[in-house]
Structure 1
Amino acid sequence: MRILLMAPTFFGYRDRVRDELSHLGHDVECVDDRPSESVSFKSLAKISYRLIDRQIAEYAMSLREKVAAGEYDLLLFMGGMSFCFTHDQFSSIKSASNARFVAYLWDAFNNCERFGACRDLFDIIYSFEPSDCERYGLKLRPLFFSGAYDGLPLVPVGGFTYDACFIGSVHQPSKFEAISSICDNLESRGLRVFRFFFMPSKSAAALRRLTNPAYRGVEFSFESLPAEKVAEIYARSKAIIDSPQAGQYGLTMRTLETIGAHRKLITANPDAVLYDFASRGDVAVWRGEGSIPPDFFETPYRVLPDEVYRGYSIETFVRTLLGDEPAYEGYEKGN
């Protein structure tokens, strides 16, 4: 199958999906879902796409030409709020090809205004957000874990260095406040916590410190940790800490990485316990002080059935989007 994969480049999600599609024998070509990844373009886009519609229109025309000449069997869009095309622009792209159009959303539908206006142009739409699937008739499909954490020992040689760890971006205030509360609470109980708070830039950190007291006095990093270092920290930690962004309850990529790493999960997402991977009690929901029971750290991680891990693997994720796997059924099965 010849596939055009349209997605943003951040966090390497697109590359991982491309590599898996290629591994399955498909011919894959990648394009960005917007004409520029520059700071100025992103800043104007946050204000209004109308400020950059000329640039978007030119990019839509170039994509139309690519689709018309490419003889693609499938156009696969993965993303969310970065979808920038108007209905007329994307309709022109779709009319240039007989390809099947499939979309996967990893942002809440309400945050994807322009995508919402184009939803009728896709043959099928998957989303990570259960409430959006119910409200808009989308197909539920959580994100995936890749093979980065295959082979991590259930207990490292010499024992665990940390009881819990957090490694991630904290530019979104409600997420940062939840993560900080969890870390502070665990440390106040004498537990060992590793924190790595990533900020995309020093100017972003300065703005947050200026506008939100919670950010003041906190040390941030402006370069992400290498993947091998993340794996090392995960291997030495009993549990991984996570929180979704405000208004979202779909599973984050960090939650899926936790499953792949065979580690316990502490999350501010109450929906996490409704999934089949939570069935053995290794998921704790943060609801404030006292919500993480002491024995959560005392009991060992309980390995899940193979079919549960397979359900969240990148292979199953990709095969689902291709229509080669049955619909995801792991939601509302947790205890």
Structure 2
Amino acid sequence: MKILLITPNFFDYPAQICEAIHQMGHEVDWYDDRPSTNSFVKAIIRINKNYINAMIARYFSKMMSEVTRKKYDKVILISGQSLSFSESMMERLKESQIQAEFVLYQWDSMKNFPYIEKIQKYFDRCYSFDKEDVRNGNLRFLPLFYTKRYEKVGRKSISKYKYDLMFVGTAHPKKYKYVKEMAEKLKFVFPKQFIYFFFPSKIVYIYRKVKNIELKYAHCSEFHYTPVNGKEMDKLLTESRCVLDSAQDGQTGLTIRILEAFGAKRKIITTNEDVVNYDFYREENIYIYDGDFNLNAPFFNKPYREVDEGVYKKYSLRSWLNELIGG
């Protein structure tokens, strides 16, 4: 099977997804959903992509000149807020591959990225990681996944951890607020902490600082502008007992960080209340932060509780791809 895959260039996930597709016996061509990973371009797309319409048009034309030489069986778009293609571009892509099944996976909630609803009509199947979007639209629910990288971490036997807790993620305003709050409240119980707030560029940091009250008193030095690579994440998760997580404002779907931590068999502290409705939830493994911590809870007093292998494998990248490709 020939697959055209379009995704954000998010950490090293495109390479891992393509590798998994190859291992399943399929051919795959991958394209970024934006014309450049340059910090300025990434920032402008999030703020107002109309400023770089000419650049987007050139990139899309180049992509089309290449993909129209082939006939694909599947066209899979994994979309977040970085998607730069217009409705007319999506229509052209659809018309160029009329024999293909088009599959959309929404990696962001429609509340945070309402544009995505306008292009759903070009797809034969549409999925979302967010249950609220599935309730309100013609979408199928499909949570995110963990990769073999995190499965390998989960198989390692660790007797001593370098960090009591860690957080690595984009500094969305609410996420920044709650992660800072949780880390501060836990510093006496979990004193060894690794916190890495990421922004794609200083332009985005300045924009967010002006626009969002949660970042009003934040300082530029608190943030990093280079993403943590896969090997670094492996090392951090291996060395950490617990992972902090907080969803974006307006989002109920589980973040990729929760699935990574689950794959790595690490304890998780999250603000996402909906995690109790997932079959892998165990009170020994996952703590839901509601503004305070109960240090008498099983999470703080019992070891990690293994989850049934069938439930564990259900959230693997291969299982996720089986659904997207097979439907």
Range into which the TM-score falls when normalised by the shorter chain:
0.7 to 0.9
Please give the alpha-carbon distance, in whole angstroms, between the structure 1 residues aligned to 2:180 and 2:37. Answer: 30
CA contact (8 A) 2:246 2:270 kept: yes
Contact between 1:164 and 1:239, CA under 8 Å: does it hold in 2? yes
The CA deviation at 1:239 is 1.6
SS in 2 for 1:144: coil
User: What is the match of residue 164 of structure 2?
Assistant: 163
The 10-residue stretch of structure 1 (235-244 or 133-142) with the greater mean CA deviation from structure 2: 235-244
Q: 2:257 — aligned with what?
A: 254
Equivalence for 2:183: 183
Q: Distance in 2 between matches of 1:204 and 1:228?
A: 26
Alpha-carbon spacing, 1:100–1:217, altered in 2? closer, same or farther (3 Å): closer
* 1:203/1:125 CA distance change after superposition, 3 Å: closer
RMSD: 2.7
- Paired amino acid for 1:299: K
1:278 aligned counterpart, secondary structure: coil
* 1:130-181 C-alpha deviation (Å, 9 max, x unpaired): 10011112111111111113344678554334332222332x2210110011
CA shift for structure 1 position 271:
1.1
Cα distance, 1:190 vs structure 2: 5.9
Counterpart in the other structure of 1:26: 26
Report the identity percentage: 31
Larger deviation: 284-293 or 103-112?
Answer: 284-293
Post-superposition CA distance 1:172-203 (Å, at most 9, x none): 22101100111001114465433233344456
Unpaired runs of 5+ in structure 1?
325-335
Tell me the equivalent position of 1:117.
Answer: 118
Structure 1 length as normaliser, TM-score? 0.86
TM-score, normalised on structure 2? 0.88
Aligned to 1:333: none
One-letter code of the match for 2:315?
Y
AA aligned to 1:32 is: D
Greater mean alpha carbon deviation, residues 85-94 or residues 304-313? 85-94
Question: Using a 3 Å threshold, how does the CA distance of structure 1 residues 149 and 117 change in structure 2: closer, same or farther?
Answer: closer
Contact 2:11/2:229 (<8 A) preserved: no
- Describe the shift of the 1:196–1:36 C-alpha distance in structure 2 as closer, same or farther (beyond 3 A): closer
Counterpart residue number, 2:325? 322
Superposition map of 1:35-184 within 5 A = 35-97=35-97, 98-152=99-153, 156-170=157-171, 172-184=172-184
3-state DSSP of counterpart to 1:132: helix
Deviation at 1:293, TM superposition (A): 4.3
Residues 258-269 of structure 1 correspond to what in structure 2 (within 5 A)?
258-269=261-272
1:152–1:27 Cα change, 3 Å: closer
Check the 8 A contact 2:12/2:229 in 1, yes or no: no
The residue number in structure 2 matching 1:328 is none
| Superposed displacement of residue 318, structure 1 | 0.8
**Alignment-derived partner of residue 272 in structure 1:** 275
Per the alignment, in what secondary structure is the counterpart of residue 234 of structure 1? helix
Q: 1:225 to 1:78 in 2, by over 3 A?
A: closer
Change (3 A) 1:67 1:296: same
Q: 1:109: how far off?
A: 1.6
Asked which structure has the greater RCO (Cα within 8 Å, sep 6+), the reply is 2
Letter of the structure 2 residue corresponding to residue 53 of structure 1:
N
